[in-house]
């Protein structure tokens, strides 16, 4: 990577003068990547040379903990200046992990406006829309002329992260409308801005989740989303780059949930840390597995008498488990999209999943009857007729698929109606439950058809 190599050379060997001027040629994001690989001594040297503008830009691209490490080499005054330069939401992330006496000190060294801006953002809880917003936006008063709005824009453009939209406020800071920059630059004075704004503004509340804010931006193609409080006063805006980061984190969480790993596991975690993160789920699988052992033990006599049954046991469990998971995933996604708001819709969905399971049950049942019959004939059937064993396999699959599909929908819907989070309790439990149902059907049928007859 020649680009990073060049930055590395510059940071490692550059004279103070070269550093100050040449660093500007590189993107802060690249500089951030290299900066944080430097050893302590060199890092100290470099950050003492670079000015607060450059450092502010660069540190906005680092994880808060890494940024905090860099800041430690600097005196309080410079730190305060850097934090003022950084995007407000990034600066707040750093301040949040800074211990109290120092945090207060930095804030005291800033000018009043910056201090108030940061102080008002610090208290938002993690993962809320408030915690990812910035209060650098351009607000204009209702009723002013487009010319004055343009003047406000020109005056604040440089210090504002995004200027795609201007927010129109009344005297109490209530958000009354939004003007797209495109519209504003085309307008001619005299004209009151109220004529140009839309009043049907899509907003989120401070306490809404960061994820739902990001999804709103993605779905509606909004580059700059206003965040308001309960009274509809504008508190800040969310920019699209932050929304994209949130969606990325959500993807990580989705994968983690799918894999049953706690989502804090990072690429840099040690083997021990990673092992520990993954252990709880494995222990849970062990416990659930033992439950299944207990069920199988009930059918010991049948198994001892008909060993061939064992050959198809993984098949029965696998199919039931997967059908259950499929319908679970569809249902959970439907719930998250609010498809099953009323009773009729829920019942319709349950009925549908039952039907889907039944159709596939017939298909797979017939197919498995044929294949297992073939299989048993090839390996040479023992004391029991291959046709009857194959019939047991086929019928069990037909029944257990219908039931699994139904249960995969029923359990998350029930949890949802009980106001519990359907995604939490479902995964391995549903699999185990449908596994057990599949096994019981299988062994019961076998006991009835082979042993009793």
| x/- map, 410-449, another protein, by CB under 8 A | ------x--x-xxx----x------x--------------
Q: Tell me the closest approach of the beta carbon of residue 269 to another protein, in angstroms.
A: 9
Please identify which residue in 9, 104, 123, 254 interacts with another protein, judged by CB under 8 A.
Answer: 254
Q: Tell me the closest approach of the beta carbon of residue 129 to another protein, in angstroms.
A: 12
Residue 330 in contact with another protein, rule: CB under 8 A: yes
Measured in degrees and rounded to the nearest 5, phi and psi for residue 53 equal -65, -50
Closer CB to another protein, 79 or 217, in the complex: 217
How many binding residues for another protein (CB under 8 A)?
Answer: 114
Contact region with another protein (CB under 8 A), list: 74-82, 169-177, 230-238, 331-339 = 331-339
Q: Tell me the closest approach of the beta carbon of residue 350 to another protein, in angstroms.
A: 11
Subset of 206-245 contacting another protein (CB under 8 A): 209, 211-212, 217-221, 223, 240-241, 243-245
Please identify which residue in 113, 172, 293, 452 interacts with another protein, judged by CB under 8 A.
Answer: 293
Q: What share of the chain is helix, strand, coil (3-state, %, to 5)?
A: 70, 10, 25
- CA 213 to each of CA 60, 158, 160, 204, 243: distance values in angstroms, whole numbers, following the listed order: 21, 26, 20, 6, 8
Contact region with another protein (CB under 8 A), list: 35-43, 71-79, 93-101, 329-337 = 329-337
Please identify which residue in 72, 255, 414, 425 interacts with another protein, judged by CB under 8 A.
Answer: 255
Please identify which residue in 65, 97, 286, 451 interacts with another protein, judged by CB under 8 A.
Answer: 286
Q: Whose CA is closest to 431, among 292, 257, 252?
A: 292
Subset of 140-179 contacting another protein (CB under 8 A): 153-154, 157-158, 160, 162-164
Subset of 350-409 contacting another protein (CB under 8 A): 352, 355-356, 359-360, 363-364, 367-368, 371-372, 375, 379, 401
Residue 313 in contact with another protein, rule: CB under 8 A: yes
Q: Tell me the closest approach of the beta carbon of residue 177 to another protein, in angstroms.
A: 15
Subset of 70-89 contacting another protein (CB under 8 A): none
- CA 436 to each of CA 162, 217, 313, 406, 451: distance values in angstroms, whole numbers, following the listed order: 56, 43, 11, 15, 21
Residue 105 in contact with another protein, rule: CB under 8 A: no
d(CA 173, CA 167) in angstroms, rounded, equals: 10
* Contact assessment for residue 313 and residue 445, using Cβ atoms and an 8 Å cutoff: no
What count of residues does the chain have? 453
Residue 314 in contact with another protein, rule: CB under 8 A: yes
Q: Tell me the closest approach of the beta carbon of residue 12 to another protein, in angstroms.
A: 21
Q: Which residues pair with 225 in a beta bridge?
A: 238
Q: Tell me the closest approach of the beta carbon of residue 104 to another protein, in angstroms.
A: 31
Buried b (16+ CB within 10 A) or exposed e, 258-269: eeebeeebeeee
Q: Tell me the closest approach of the beta carbon of residue 334 to another protein, in angstroms.
A: 5
d(CA 1, CA 49) in angstroms, rounded, equals: 25
d(CA 431, CA 404) in angstroms, rounded, equals: 9
DSSP one-letter code for 159: G
Coil, strand or helix: which one is 280? helix
Q: Tell me the closest approach of the beta carbon of residue 110 to another protein, in angstroms.
A: 23
H or E segment to which residue 103 belongs:
helix 100-109
Q: How many CB atoms lie within 10 A of CB 325?
A: 17
Q: How many CB atoms lie within 10 A of CB 19?
A: 17
Please identify which residue in 13, 27, 53, 125 interacts with another protein, judged by CB under 8 A.
Answer: 27
């Amino acid at each position: 990577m020649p680009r990073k190599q060049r930055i590395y050379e510059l940071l490692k060997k550059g004279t103070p003068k070269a550093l100050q001027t040449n660093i500007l040629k590189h993107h802060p994001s690249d500089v951030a990547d290299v900066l944080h690989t430097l050893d302590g001594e060199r890092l100290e040297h470099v950050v003492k040379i670079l000015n607060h503008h450059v450092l502010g830009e660069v540190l906005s691209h680092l994880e808060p903990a890494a940024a905090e490490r860099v800041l430690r080499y600097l005196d309080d005054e410079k730190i305060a200046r850097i934090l003022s330069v950084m995007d407000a939401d990034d600066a707040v992330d750093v301040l949040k992990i800074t211990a109290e006496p120092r945090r207060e000190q930095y804030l005291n060294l800033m000018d009043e406006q910056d201090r108030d801006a940061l102080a008002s953002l610090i208290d938002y809880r993690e993962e809320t829309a408030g915690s990812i917003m910035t209060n650098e936006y351009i607000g204009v008063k209702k009723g002013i002329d487009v010319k004055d709005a343009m003047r406000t824009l020109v005056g604040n453009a440089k210090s504002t992260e995004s200027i795609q939209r201007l927010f129109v406020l009344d005297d109490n800071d209530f958000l009354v409308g939004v003007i797209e920059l495109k519209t504003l630059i085309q307008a001619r004075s005299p004209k009151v801005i109220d004529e140009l704004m839309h009043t049907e503004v899509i907003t989120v509340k401070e306490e809404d989740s960061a994820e739902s804010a990001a999804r709103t931006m993605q779905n509606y193609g909004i580059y700059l989303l206003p965040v308001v409080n309960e009274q509809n006063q504008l508190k800040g805006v969310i920019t699209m780059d932050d929304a994209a980061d949130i969606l990325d984190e959500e993807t990580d969480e989705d994968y983690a949930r799918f894999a049953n790993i706690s989502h804090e596991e990072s690429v840099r975690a040690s083997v021990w840390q990673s092992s520990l993160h993954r252990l709880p789920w494995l222990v849970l699988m062990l416990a659930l597995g033992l439950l299944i052992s207990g069920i199988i033990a009930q059918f010991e006599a049948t198994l001892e008498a008909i060993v061939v049954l064992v050959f198809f046991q993984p098949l029965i469990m696998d199919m039931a488990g997967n059908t259950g998971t499929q319908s679970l995933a569809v249902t959970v996604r439907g719930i998250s999209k609010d498809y099953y708001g009323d009773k009729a819709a829920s019942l319709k969905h349950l009925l549908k999943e039952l039907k889907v399971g039944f159709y596939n049950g017939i298909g797979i049942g017939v197919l498995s009857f044929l294949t297992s019959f073939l299989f048993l004939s090839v390996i040479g059937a023992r004391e029991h007729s291959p046709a009857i064993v194959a019939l047991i396999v086929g019928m069990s699959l037909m029944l257990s698929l219908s039931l699994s599909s139904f249960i995969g929908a029923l359990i998350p819907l029930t949890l949802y109606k009980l106001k519990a989070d359907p995604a939490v309790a479902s995964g391995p439990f549903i699999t185990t439950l449908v596994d057990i149902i599949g096994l019981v059907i299988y062994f019961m049928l076998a006991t009835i058809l082979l042993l009793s007859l």
